[in-house]
Structure 1
Amino acid sequence: MPDHPVLMARWKAAAEAARAAHPPTLVRYGPGEREVMDLFEAGPDAPVAVFIHGGYWQALDKAWFSGIAPALLAHGISVAIPSYDLCPTVRLGRIVQQMRTVADGLRARNGRRPMVFGHSAGGHLAACLLSEARASAALAISGVFDLAPLIPTSINTALRLDAREAAALSPIHWPAPNGSTPGGTVLDCVVGGAETSEFIRQSQAMAELWGAKGVETRFEALPGLNHFTVLDPLTDPDSALVRRIVELTRAL
Protein backbone atom coordinates (compact mmCIF):
# COMPACT_ATOMS: atom_id res chain seq x y z
CA MET A 1 0.00 0.00 0.00
CA PRO A 2 1.93 3.04 -1.23
CA ASP A 3 0.63 5.53 1.33
CA HIS A 4 1.37 3.45 4.41
CA PRO A 5 4.60 5.29 5.43
CA VAL A 6 2.62 8.53 5.60
CA LEU A 7 -0.13 6.87 7.62
CA MET A 8 2.36 5.30 10.02
CA ALA A 9 4.05 8.66 10.50
CA ARG A 10 0.62 9.97 11.48
CA TRP A 11 0.27 7.15 14.01
CA LYS A 12 3.62 8.10 15.53
CA ALA A 13 2.73 11.81 15.77
CA ALA A 14 -0.63 11.03 17.38
CA ALA A 15 1.08 8.66 19.81
CA GLU A 16 3.59 11.27 20.91
CA ALA A 17 0.85 13.86 21.43
CA ALA A 18 -1.22 11.41 23.47
CA ARG A 19 1.70 10.47 25.70
CA ALA A 20 2.41 14.14 26.36
CA ALA A 21 -1.20 14.89 27.25
CA HIS A 22 -1.86 11.65 29.18
CA PRO A 23 1.43 10.19 30.48
CA PRO A 24 0.90 6.44 30.90
CA THR A 25 2.07 4.20 33.70
CA LEU A 26 4.63 1.63 32.54
CA VAL A 27 3.57 -1.80 33.80
CA ARG A 28 5.92 -4.77 33.54
CA TYR A 29 4.21 -8.10 32.95
CA GLY A 30 7.31 -10.26 32.56
CA PRO A 31 11.11 -10.16 32.79
CA GLY A 32 11.79 -9.57 29.09
CA GLU A 33 12.69 -6.19 27.61
CA ARG A 34 9.46 -6.08 25.58
CA GLU A 35 7.24 -7.56 28.29
CA VAL A 36 5.84 -4.17 29.24
CA MET A 37 2.62 -2.27 28.66
CA ASP A 38 1.49 1.33 28.81
CA LEU A 39 -1.53 1.83 31.05
CA PHE A 40 -3.53 4.98 30.42
CA GLU A 41 -5.80 5.24 33.44
CA ALA A 42 -9.17 6.98 33.32
CA GLY A 43 -9.69 6.53 37.06
CA PRO A 44 -9.08 4.06 39.90
CA ASP A 45 -12.18 1.98 39.20
CA ALA A 46 -12.43 2.46 35.45
CA PRO A 47 -12.95 -0.61 33.26
CA VAL A 48 -9.98 -1.55 31.08
CA ALA A 49 -9.73 -2.15 27.34
CA VAL A 50 -6.56 -3.76 26.00
CA PHE A 51 -5.32 -2.85 22.51
CA ILE A 52 -3.01 -5.42 20.88
CA HIS A 53 -1.03 -4.01 17.99
CA GLY A 54 -0.42 -5.55 14.59
CA GLY A 55 2.69 -5.92 12.45
CA TYR A 56 2.31 -9.60 11.52
CA TRP A 57 3.80 -10.61 14.90
CA GLN A 58 7.18 -9.35 13.68
CA ALA A 59 7.14 -5.53 13.83
CA LEU A 60 6.11 -2.46 15.85
CA ASP A 61 5.50 -2.00 19.58
CA LYS A 62 3.21 -0.23 22.04
CA ALA A 63 4.71 3.23 21.45
CA TRP A 64 3.20 3.44 17.95
CA PHE A 65 -0.37 3.26 19.19
CA SER A 66 -0.73 5.59 22.17
CA GLY A 67 -2.83 7.82 19.91
CA ILE A 68 -5.84 5.54 20.36
CA ALA A 69 -5.99 6.17 24.11
CA PRO A 70 -7.48 9.70 24.32
CA ALA A 71 -10.77 8.82 22.60
CA LEU A 72 -11.44 6.03 25.10
CA LEU A 73 -10.20 8.01 28.09
CA ALA A 74 -12.80 10.63 27.17
CA HIS A 75 -15.45 7.97 27.87
CA GLY A 76 -13.94 6.91 31.19
CA ILE A 77 -12.27 3.78 29.79
CA SER A 78 -8.70 2.95 30.80
CA VAL A 79 -6.48 1.64 28.00
CA ALA A 80 -3.63 -0.87 28.23
CA ILE A 81 -1.29 -1.20 25.24
CA PRO A 82 1.27 -4.01 25.57
CA SER A 83 4.38 -4.73 23.58
CA TYR A 84 5.41 -8.33 22.99
CA ASP A 85 8.40 -10.23 21.66
CA LEU A 86 8.60 -10.52 17.90
CA CYS A 87 9.18 -13.32 15.44
CA PRO A 88 11.67 -14.72 14.51
CA THR A 89 13.23 -14.06 17.94
CA VAL A 90 10.40 -16.10 19.44
CA ARG A 91 7.79 -18.47 18.07
CA LEU A 92 4.23 -17.28 17.62
CA GLY A 93 3.04 -19.49 20.46
CA ARG A 94 5.22 -17.50 22.84
CA ILE A 95 3.45 -14.28 21.82
CA VAL A 96 0.07 -15.90 22.51
CA GLN A 97 1.35 -16.84 25.97
CA GLN A 98 2.53 -13.28 26.61
CA MET A 99 -0.92 -11.89 25.84
CA ARG A 100 -2.44 -14.46 28.21
CA THR A 101 -0.18 -13.08 30.91
CA VAL A 102 -1.26 -9.51 30.11
CA ALA A 103 -4.97 -10.34 30.31
CA ASP A 104 -4.60 -12.39 33.48
CA GLY A 105 -2.47 -9.69 35.11
CA LEU A 106 -5.04 -6.99 34.39
CA ARG A 107 -7.79 -9.17 35.77
CA ALA A 108 -5.76 -9.70 38.95
CA ARG A 109 -5.19 -5.95 39.14
CA ASN A 110 -8.84 -4.87 39.12
CA GLY A 111 -10.84 -8.05 39.54
CA ARG A 112 -12.42 -8.01 36.07
CA ARG A 113 -11.55 -9.53 32.75
CA PRO A 114 -10.50 -6.82 30.30
CA MET A 115 -12.18 -6.12 27.01
CA VAL A 116 -9.64 -6.83 24.27
CA PHE A 117 -9.37 -5.29 20.82
CA GLY A 118 -6.59 -5.56 18.29
CA HIS A 119 -5.54 -4.84 14.74
CA SER A 120 -4.38 -7.45 12.22
CA ALA A 121 -2.07 -9.77 14.22
CA GLY A 122 -3.61 -8.14 17.28
CA GLY A 123 -7.05 -9.23 16.11
CA HIS A 124 -5.75 -12.80 16.00
CA LEU A 125 -4.49 -12.51 19.57
CA ALA A 126 -7.72 -10.89 20.78
CA ALA A 127 -9.74 -13.83 19.44
CA CYS A 128 -7.38 -16.27 21.15
CA LEU A 129 -7.96 -14.58 24.51
CA LEU A 130 -11.74 -14.63 24.06
CA SER A 131 -11.70 -18.33 23.19
CA GLU A 132 -9.87 -19.04 26.45
CA ALA A 133 -12.28 -16.94 28.58
CA ARG A 134 -9.55 -14.43 29.38
CA ALA A 135 -11.48 -11.47 27.94
CA SER A 136 -14.92 -10.03 28.64
CA ALA A 137 -15.39 -9.37 24.91
CA ALA A 138 -13.21 -9.01 21.83
CA LEU A 139 -13.22 -6.73 18.81
CA ALA A 140 -10.88 -7.75 16.01
CA ILE A 141 -10.00 -5.11 13.43
CA SER A 142 -8.75 -6.74 10.22
CA GLY A 143 -7.95 -9.88 12.18
CA VAL A 144 -6.07 -12.92 10.94
CA PHE A 145 -7.94 -15.97 12.18
CA ASP A 146 -6.63 -18.70 9.85
CA LEU A 147 -2.85 -18.79 9.57
CA ALA A 148 -2.58 -21.46 6.87
CA PRO A 149 -2.75 -18.98 3.95
CA LEU A 150 0.38 -17.26 5.31
CA ILE A 151 2.58 -20.35 4.95
CA PRO A 152 3.55 -19.84 1.27
CA THR A 153 4.05 -16.06 1.67
CA SER A 154 7.08 -13.97 2.59
CA ILE A 155 5.41 -13.18 5.92
CA ASN A 156 6.18 -16.74 6.99
CA THR A 157 9.94 -16.20 6.66
CA ALA A 158 9.93 -14.84 10.20
CA LEU A 159 7.00 -16.89 11.52
CA ARG A 160 8.37 -20.25 10.32
CA LEU A 161 4.95 -21.87 10.50
CA ASP A 162 4.29 -25.34 9.16
CA ALA A 163 0.81 -26.71 8.55
CA ARG A 164 0.50 -28.28 12.00
CA GLU A 165 1.59 -25.19 13.93
CA ALA A 166 -0.53 -22.89 11.76
CA ALA A 167 -3.62 -24.98 12.46
CA ALA A 168 -2.88 -25.18 16.18
CA LEU A 169 -2.50 -21.39 16.48
CA SER A 170 -5.47 -20.38 14.31
CA PRO A 171 -8.37 -19.21 16.51
CA ILE A 172 -10.86 -20.12 13.78
CA HIS A 173 -10.13 -23.73 14.86
CA TRP A 174 -10.28 -23.00 18.61
CA PRO A 175 -13.35 -23.62 20.77
CA ALA A 176 -15.92 -20.87 20.51
CA PRO A 177 -16.74 -19.30 23.88
CA ASN A 178 -20.25 -20.08 25.09
CA GLY A 179 -22.58 -19.49 27.99
CA SER A 180 -21.07 -22.33 30.03
CA THR A 181 -17.69 -20.59 30.19
CA PRO A 182 -17.01 -17.76 32.66
CA GLY A 183 -15.63 -15.30 30.12
CA GLY A 184 -17.20 -13.18 27.40
CA THR A 185 -19.20 -14.42 24.42
CA VAL A 186 -19.10 -11.37 22.13
CA LEU A 187 -16.80 -11.10 19.11
CA ASP A 188 -16.94 -8.22 16.63
CA CYS A 189 -15.05 -8.70 13.36
CA VAL A 190 -14.45 -5.32 11.72
CA VAL A 191 -12.54 -4.84 8.50
CA GLY A 192 -11.88 -2.05 6.03
CA GLY A 193 -14.13 -2.24 3.01
CA ALA A 194 -11.16 -1.38 0.77
CA GLU A 195 -8.92 -4.12 2.14
CA THR A 196 -7.86 -7.23 0.25
CA SER A 197 -10.40 -9.95 -0.26
CA GLU A 198 -8.58 -12.31 2.12
CA PHE A 199 -8.92 -9.99 5.12
CA ILE A 200 -12.61 -9.54 4.37
CA ARG A 201 -13.13 -13.27 3.82
CA GLN A 202 -11.45 -14.23 7.08
CA SER A 203 -13.46 -11.76 9.14
CA GLN A 204 -16.72 -12.94 7.57
CA ALA A 205 -15.80 -16.59 8.05
CA MET A 206 -14.83 -16.10 11.69
CA ALA A 207 -18.05 -14.25 12.52
CA GLU A 208 -20.17 -16.85 10.74
CA LEU A 209 -18.42 -19.86 12.27
CA TRP A 210 -18.43 -18.67 15.87
CA GLY A 211 -21.88 -17.16 15.41
CA ALA A 212 -23.20 -20.58 14.44
CA LYS A 213 -21.72 -21.93 17.69
CA GLY A 214 -23.58 -19.49 19.91
CA VAL A 215 -21.22 -16.54 20.09
CA GLU A 216 -22.74 -13.08 19.66
CA THR A 217 -20.80 -12.06 16.58
CA ARG A 218 -20.87 -9.04 14.30
CA PHE A 219 -19.21 -8.53 10.95
CA GLU A 220 -18.78 -5.04 9.57
CA ALA A 221 -16.85 -3.69 6.58
CA LEU A 222 -16.12 0.02 7.02
CA PRO A 223 -16.56 1.69 3.61
CA GLY A 224 -13.50 3.11 1.91
CA LEU A 225 -10.99 2.17 4.62
CA ASN A 226 -7.88 0.08 3.93
CA HIS A 227 -5.66 -1.99 6.21
CA PHE A 228 -4.07 1.13 7.71
CA THR A 229 -6.84 3.75 7.60
CA VAL A 230 -9.19 1.27 9.30
CA LEU A 231 -7.60 2.48 12.56
CA ASP A 232 -8.56 6.12 11.95
CA PRO A 233 -11.93 5.87 13.74
CA LEU A 234 -10.12 4.91 16.96
CA THR A 235 -8.91 8.50 17.36
CA ASP A 236 -12.43 9.96 17.23
CA PRO A 237 -14.36 9.72 20.53
CA ASP A 238 -17.63 10.09 18.62
CA SER A 239 -16.97 7.35 16.06
CA ALA A 240 -19.20 4.30 16.01
CA LEU A 241 -16.15 2.08 16.50
CA VAL A 242 -15.05 3.87 19.67
CA ARG A 243 -18.58 3.84 21.00
CA ARG A 244 -18.82 0.11 20.38
CA ILE A 245 -15.57 -0.50 22.27
CA VAL A 246 -16.90 1.62 25.13
CA GLU A 247 -20.16 -0.36 25.15
CA LEU A 248 -18.34 -3.70 25.23
CA THR A 249 -15.89 -2.55 27.91
CA ARG A 250 -18.61 -1.24 30.20
CA ALA A 251 -20.67 -4.42 29.88
CA LEU A 252 -18.45 -6.32 32.29
Structure 2
Amino acid sequence: MDAEAEYNNRARVPGSAEIIATWMRDAEAFRTTWTRKRLDIRYGDAEPERLDLFLPEAEGPCPLALFIHGGYWQALSRSAVSHFARGLLLNGVAVAVPSYGLCPAYSLRTIVEQIRRAAAVLCVTTHQRMLAVGHSAGGHLAAMLRATDWPDFAPGLREDVVPAILPVSGVFELEPLLPTTIARALDLTAAEARALSPRFLPPPGGEVHAVVGGAESDEFRRQTRDFAAAWSGTAEEIPGANHFTVLDPLTDPAHPLTLRAAAMARRLASL
Protein backbone atom coordinates (compact mmCIF):
# COMPACT_ATOMS: atom_id res chain seq x y z
CA MET A 1 0.00 0.00 0.00
CA ASP A 2 1.17 3.53 -0.82
CA ALA A 3 0.12 5.15 2.45
CA GLU A 4 0.96 8.66 1.25
CA ALA A 5 -1.33 8.30 -1.76
CA GLU A 6 -4.09 6.76 0.34
CA TYR A 7 -4.10 9.36 3.12
CA ASN A 8 -2.85 12.64 1.62
CA ASN A 9 -6.22 14.00 0.54
CA ARG A 10 -5.03 17.46 -0.46
CA ALA A 11 -2.66 15.85 -2.96
CA ARG A 12 -5.20 13.23 -3.96
CA VAL A 13 -8.12 15.55 -4.80
CA PRO A 14 -7.58 17.97 -7.70
CA GLY A 15 -8.69 21.47 -6.73
CA SER A 16 -8.65 20.77 -2.99
CA ALA A 17 -7.11 24.18 -2.27
CA GLU A 18 -9.91 25.89 -4.19
CA ILE A 19 -12.52 23.84 -2.34
CA ILE A 20 -11.13 24.91 1.02
CA ALA A 21 -10.94 28.55 -0.12
CA THR A 22 -14.63 28.30 -1.03
CA TRP A 23 -15.35 26.87 2.42
CA MET A 24 -13.71 29.89 4.02
CA ARG A 25 -15.83 32.32 1.99
CA ASP A 26 -19.05 30.41 2.54
CA ALA A 27 -18.36 30.03 6.26
CA GLU A 28 -17.71 33.76 6.67
CA ALA A 29 -20.89 34.62 4.78
CA PHE A 30 -22.86 32.20 6.93
CA ARG A 31 -21.51 33.65 10.19
CA THR A 32 -22.39 37.12 8.98
CA THR A 33 -25.93 36.38 7.84
CA TRP A 34 -27.19 33.83 10.39
CA THR A 35 -28.95 35.90 13.02
CA ARG A 36 -29.26 33.63 16.06
CA LYS A 37 -25.69 32.93 17.16
CA ARG A 38 -23.20 33.30 19.99
CA LEU A 39 -19.70 33.66 18.62
CA ASP A 40 -16.29 33.27 20.24
CA ILE A 41 -17.40 31.50 23.42
CA ARG A 42 -14.45 30.39 25.56
CA TYR A 43 -14.51 26.81 26.78
CA GLY A 44 -10.97 26.78 28.22
CA ASP A 45 -7.97 28.95 28.99
CA ALA A 46 -5.84 28.29 25.90
CA GLU A 47 -6.29 30.72 23.02
CA PRO A 48 -7.71 28.16 20.55
CA GLU A 49 -10.31 26.93 23.05
CA ARG A 50 -13.27 28.84 21.65
CA LEU A 51 -16.49 27.83 19.94
CA ASP A 52 -19.38 29.34 18.02
CA LEU A 53 -22.94 28.34 18.87
CA PHE A 54 -25.60 28.66 16.19
CA LEU A 55 -29.27 28.45 17.18
CA PRO A 56 -32.29 27.58 15.04
CA GLU A 57 -34.48 30.40 13.82
CA ALA A 58 -37.34 29.39 16.10
CA GLU A 59 -36.77 30.15 19.76
CA GLY A 60 -37.29 27.53 22.44
CA PRO A 61 -35.79 24.16 23.42
CA CYS A 62 -33.96 22.30 20.67
CA PRO A 63 -31.57 19.36 20.22
CA LEU A 64 -27.82 19.99 20.15
CA ALA A 65 -25.05 18.85 17.82
CA LEU A 66 -21.30 19.47 17.96
CA PHE A 67 -19.53 19.81 14.59
CA ILE A 68 -15.75 19.25 14.71
CA HIS A 69 -13.57 20.40 11.81
CA GLY A 70 -10.85 18.35 10.14
CA GLY A 71 -7.39 19.21 8.85
CA TYR A 72 -5.40 16.24 10.17
CA TRP A 73 -5.21 17.92 13.62
CA GLN A 74 -2.81 20.50 12.14
CA ALA A 75 -4.84 22.85 9.93
CA LEU A 76 -8.09 24.84 9.73
CA SER A 77 -10.38 26.07 12.51
CA ARG A 78 -14.06 26.58 13.18
CA SER A 79 -13.99 29.59 10.81
CA ALA A 80 -13.65 27.23 7.83
CA VAL A 81 -16.75 25.13 8.45
CA SER A 82 -19.50 27.30 9.97
CA HIS A 83 -21.78 26.87 6.94
CA PHE A 84 -21.97 23.12 7.38
CA ALA A 85 -24.28 23.83 10.34
CA ARG A 86 -26.96 25.14 7.97
CA GLY A 87 -28.81 21.91 7.23
CA LEU A 88 -29.15 20.92 10.86
CA LEU A 89 -30.16 24.43 11.90
CA LEU A 90 -32.98 24.47 9.36
CA ASN A 91 -34.11 21.17 10.89
CA GLY A 92 -34.33 22.76 14.34
CA VAL A 93 -31.00 21.52 15.74
CA ALA A 94 -28.56 23.89 17.46
CA VAL A 95 -24.95 23.44 16.31
CA ALA A 96 -21.78 24.25 18.27
CA VAL A 97 -18.59 24.54 16.19
CA PRO A 98 -15.34 24.50 18.23
CA SER A 99 -11.75 25.30 17.39
CA TYR A 100 -8.90 23.44 19.08
CA GLY A 101 -5.13 23.62 19.27
CA LEU A 102 -3.19 22.35 16.28
CA CYS A 103 -0.16 20.08 15.99
CA PRO A 104 2.76 20.45 16.46
CA ALA A 105 2.13 23.27 18.97
CA TYR A 106 -0.37 20.99 20.75
CA SER A 107 -0.07 17.22 21.07
CA LEU A 108 -2.83 15.01 19.75
CA ARG A 109 -3.59 13.84 23.27
CA THR A 110 -4.01 17.48 24.32
CA ILE A 111 -6.34 18.11 21.38
CA VAL A 112 -8.51 15.19 22.49
CA GLU A 113 -8.66 16.72 25.97
CA GLN A 114 -9.64 20.09 24.50
CA ILE A 115 -12.54 18.66 22.55
CA ARG A 116 -13.66 16.77 25.63
CA ARG A 117 -13.60 20.04 27.54
CA ALA A 118 -15.69 21.74 24.83
CA ALA A 119 -18.33 19.00 25.05
CA ALA A 120 -18.29 19.04 28.85
CA VAL A 121 -18.79 22.82 28.99
CA LEU A 122 -21.64 22.62 26.49
CA CYS A 123 -23.30 19.85 28.48
CA VAL A 124 -23.05 21.76 31.76
CA THR A 125 -24.21 25.09 30.32
CA THR A 126 -27.05 23.77 28.14
CA HIS A 127 -28.03 20.80 30.34
CA GLN A 128 -28.13 18.69 27.20
CA ARG A 129 -26.53 15.65 25.67
CA MET A 130 -25.31 16.06 22.13
CA LEU A 131 -24.68 14.39 18.80
CA ALA A 132 -21.03 14.71 17.73
CA VAL A 133 -20.45 15.16 14.00
CA GLY A 134 -16.88 15.46 12.76
CA HIS A 135 -15.03 15.53 9.47
CA SER A 136 -11.74 13.67 8.90
CA ALA A 137 -9.64 14.39 12.00
CA GLY A 138 -12.89 15.70 13.47
CA GLY A 139 -14.42 12.28 12.87
CA HIS A 140 -11.61 10.81 14.96
CA LEU A 141 -12.30 13.35 17.70
CA ALA A 142 -16.04 12.64 17.61
CA ALA A 143 -15.28 8.95 18.19
CA MET A 144 -12.94 9.83 21.06
CA LEU A 145 -15.79 11.80 22.66
CA ARG A 146 -18.06 8.76 22.47
CA ALA A 147 -15.33 6.64 24.09
CA THR A 148 -14.87 9.07 27.01
CA ASP A 149 -15.57 8.12 30.62
CA TRP A 150 -17.21 11.45 31.41
CA PRO A 151 -17.48 11.21 35.23
CA ASP A 152 -13.77 10.32 35.28
CA PHE A 153 -12.97 13.28 33.00
CA ALA A 154 -14.97 15.72 35.13
CA PRO A 155 -16.41 14.45 38.43
CA GLY A 156 -20.12 15.11 38.65
CA LEU A 157 -20.62 15.09 34.88
CA ARG A 158 -23.31 12.83 33.49
CA GLU A 159 -22.18 9.57 31.86
CA ASP A 160 -23.88 10.17 28.50
CA VAL A 161 -22.59 13.57 27.36
CA VAL A 162 -22.16 12.29 23.78
CA PRO A 163 -24.36 9.21 23.29
CA ALA A 164 -24.31 9.30 19.49
CA ILE A 165 -21.80 10.17 16.76
CA LEU A 166 -21.81 10.71 13.01
CA PRO A 167 -18.19 10.82 11.82
CA VAL A 168 -17.65 11.80 8.18
CA SER A 169 -14.50 10.47 6.48
CA GLY A 170 -12.97 9.82 9.87
CA VAL A 171 -9.53 8.49 10.71
CA PHE A 172 -10.05 5.69 13.22
CA GLU A 173 -6.68 3.92 12.97
CA LEU A 174 -3.66 6.21 13.30
CA GLU A 175 -0.85 3.69 12.79
CA PRO A 176 -1.19 3.68 8.97
CA LEU A 177 -0.41 7.42 9.01
CA LEU A 178 3.01 6.98 10.62
CA PRO A 179 5.03 6.49 7.40
CA THR A 180 3.39 9.50 5.69
CA THR A 181 4.28 13.19 5.61
CA ILE A 182 1.03 13.84 7.46
CA ALA A 183 2.46 12.26 10.62
CA ARG A 184 5.46 14.57 10.96
CA ALA A 185 3.60 17.25 12.87
CA LEU A 186 1.79 14.64 14.99
CA ASP A 187 5.03 13.24 16.44
CA LEU A 188 3.42 9.98 17.56
CA THR A 189 5.08 6.77 18.61
CA ALA A 190 3.51 3.54 17.43
CA ALA A 191 2.19 2.93 20.94
CA GLU A 192 0.62 6.40 21.11
CA ALA A 193 -0.95 5.97 17.68
CA ARG A 194 -2.51 2.71 18.79
CA ALA A 195 -3.77 4.14 22.09
CA LEU A 196 -5.42 7.07 20.30
CA SER A 197 -7.10 4.92 17.63
CA PRO A 198 -10.85 4.61 18.28
CA ARG A 199 -11.04 1.46 16.17
CA PHE A 200 -9.14 -0.43 18.88
CA LEU A 201 -10.86 1.05 21.95
CA PRO A 202 -13.59 -0.93 23.74
CA PRO A 203 -16.86 -0.32 21.87
CA PRO A 204 -18.85 2.13 24.03
CA GLY A 205 -22.30 1.43 22.59
CA GLY A 206 -24.69 4.18 21.59
CA GLU A 207 -25.68 5.17 18.08
CA VAL A 208 -22.85 5.26 15.53
CA HIS A 209 -23.30 6.11 11.86
CA ALA A 210 -20.04 6.48 9.92
CA VAL A 211 -20.00 8.16 6.51
CA VAL A 212 -17.38 8.24 3.75
CA GLY A 213 -17.27 9.45 0.16
CA GLY A 214 -17.64 6.86 -2.56
CA ALA A 215 -14.73 8.44 -4.46
CA GLU A 216 -12.36 8.42 -1.47
CA SER A 217 -9.31 6.22 -1.20
CA ASP A 218 -9.60 2.52 -0.48
CA GLU A 219 -8.07 3.10 2.96
CA PHE A 220 -10.58 5.75 4.02
CA ARG A 221 -13.44 3.57 2.87
CA ARG A 222 -11.94 0.55 4.63
CA GLN A 223 -11.39 2.45 7.87
CA THR A 224 -15.01 3.61 7.87
CA ARG A 225 -16.35 0.09 7.31
CA ASP A 226 -14.05 -1.50 9.88
CA PHE A 227 -14.75 1.13 12.52
CA ALA A 228 -18.52 0.88 12.09
CA ALA A 229 -18.34 -2.91 12.35
CA ALA A 230 -16.08 -2.80 15.43
CA TRP A 231 -18.45 -0.42 17.23
CA SER A 232 -21.64 -2.18 16.03
CA GLY A 233 -22.65 0.87 14.05
CA THR A 234 -23.73 1.52 10.49
CA ALA A 235 -21.71 2.78 7.53
CA GLU A 236 -22.71 4.75 4.46
CA GLU A 237 -20.92 5.83 1.30
CA ILE A 238 -21.99 9.07 -0.44
CA PRO A 239 -21.82 8.21 -4.17
CA GLY A 240 -19.26 10.20 -6.14
CA ALA A 241 -18.12 12.28 -3.16
CA ASN A 242 -14.45 12.89 -2.46
CA HIS A 243 -12.88 13.71 0.90
CA PHE A 244 -14.04 17.32 0.70
CA THR A 245 -17.32 17.25 -1.22
CA VAL A 246 -18.58 14.56 1.18
CA LEU A 247 -19.57 17.43 3.49
CA ASP A 248 -21.76 19.18 0.93
CA PRO A 249 -24.96 17.35 1.94
CA LEU A 250 -24.85 18.98 5.37
CA THR A 251 -25.65 22.38 3.87
CA ASP A 252 -28.92 20.99 2.46
CA PRO A 253 -31.73 20.65 5.02
CA ALA A 254 -33.54 18.12 2.81
CA HIS A 255 -30.60 15.80 2.09
CA PRO A 256 -31.05 12.30 3.57
CA LEU A 257 -27.76 12.58 5.48
CA THR A 258 -28.84 15.84 7.11
CA LEU A 259 -32.23 14.39 7.94
CA ARG A 260 -30.56 11.36 9.50
CA ALA A 261 -28.27 13.54 11.61
CA ALA A 262 -31.21 15.67 12.73
CA ALA A 263 -33.17 12.57 13.71
CA MET A 264 -30.20 11.28 15.72
CA ALA A 265 -29.98 14.60 17.58
CA ARG A 266 -33.72 14.67 18.25
CA ARG A 267 -33.63 11.17 19.71
CA LEU A 268 -31.08 12.35 22.28
CA ALA A 269 -33.25 15.30 23.26
CA SER A 270 -36.30 13.10 23.73
CA LEU A 271 -34.71 10.60 26.13
Fold conserved between structures, TM > 0.5: yes
Give, in whole Å, the separation in 2 of the partners of 1:142 and 1:196. Answer: 10
2:176 counterpart SS class: helix
User: Normalising to structure 2: TM-score of the pair?
Assistant: 0.86
Give, in whole Å, the separation in 2 of the partners of 1:170 and 1:6. Answer: 30
2:61 counterpart SS class: coil
Quote the offset at 1:44 in angstroms: 4.4
In structure 1, the partner of 2:222 is: 201
Give, in whole Å, the separation in 2 of the partners of 1:8 and 1:156. Answer: 21
2:102 counterpart SS class: coil
Any gaps of 5 or more consecutive residues in structure 2? 1-12, 149-159
Per-residue displacement from partner, 1:79-123 (whole Å, max 9, x unpaired)? 100000000001100000001111111111121211100000000
1:128 counterpart SS class: helix
Fraction of identical pairs, as percent? 47
Per-residue displacement from partner, 1:122-143 (whole Å, max 9, x unpaired)? 0000011112243121001000
Residue from 232, 235, 256 that aligns with 1:219 = 235
CA contact 1:50–1:116 (8 Å) conserved in 2:
yes
In structure 2, the partner of 1:124 is: 140
In structure 1, the partner of 2:210 is: 189
CA contact 2:65–2:95 (8 Å) conserved in 1:
yes
Any gaps of 5 or more consecutive residues in structure 1? 179-184, 212-216
Quote the offset at 1:70 in angstroms: 2.1
In structure 2, the partner of 1:232 is: 248
In structure 2, the partner of 1:174 is: 201
1:110 aligns with 2:107: no
1:15 aligns with 2:42: no
CA contact 2:128–2:161 (8 Å) conserved in 1:
no
1:145 counterpart SS class: coil
Bigger relative contact order, structure 1 or 2, given CA contacts below 8 A and separation 6+?
A: 2
Query: How many residues are matched?
Result: 241
User: Normalising to structure 1: TM-score of the pair?
Assistant: 0.93
1:71 aligns with 2:83: no
1:176 counterpart SS class: coil
Residue from 21, 32, 39 that aligns with 2:46 = 32
Give, in whole Å, the separation in 2 of the partners of 1:44 and 1:103. Answer: 21
Per-residue displacement from partner, 1:224-252 (whole Å, max 9, x unpaired)? 00001101111111111111110010011
Give, in whole Å, the separation in 2 of the partners of 1:218 and 1:3. Answer: 30
Give, in whole Å, the separation in 2 of the partners of 1:8 and 1:44. Answer: 34
Aligned-pair RMSD on alpha carbons?
A: 1.1
